[in-house]
Amino acid sequence: RPKADLNTIDAIASIGVSWLNDIQKLAEWAKKARIDPHDPQNSSLMQLIEVNQHALQYFRLEQMQEEFNFVTDKEMEKSKRFLLLILRDSGVSEYSYFKQVPPYDKEIPDNIMVILVICCKINVGKSQEKIVNNAAFHGNYSF
């Protein structure tokens, strides 16, 4: 056989149990069938069983999330642009007509944010109220 074919052989398919997809059942089957673990033909199968038996019994949902976070939550709450986007999305009448929001915080004047925070504390839902209050606190907007 060519070398490439040896690397592409599936350990489970090679023994004729390709229907078996549960590693625990495979380990039980290997025990019942009395497969020789020292036989070189069974080495890939035994390695598969051994690795999966010592694997963790849980998984992390957000294992790679930190790599995709480009800004912290506190910085996000301080962002004037993010606050405008939340208010526009929540349907606050004063800001629902905004079709475009400037791409940078420095392009949004502070006096708009003061008016925004004062006017919208009444109109914003409970979940967004915390963000509005945090933005007002971190942004040092005066009332």
What pLDDT is stored for residue 100 in this prediction?
87
Average pLDDT taken over every residue of the chain: 71
Confidence label for 88 from pLDDT (cuts 50, 70 and 90): confident
Q: How many CA atoms lie within 13 A of 72 on its CB side?
A: 3
Mean pLDDT confidence for 47-55: 73
Report which of 99, 104, 58 is spatially closest to residue 79, judged by C-alpha positions. Answer: 104
On whether the CB atoms of residues 51 and 45 are closer than 8 A, the answer is: no
Mean pLDDT confidence for 104-125: 70
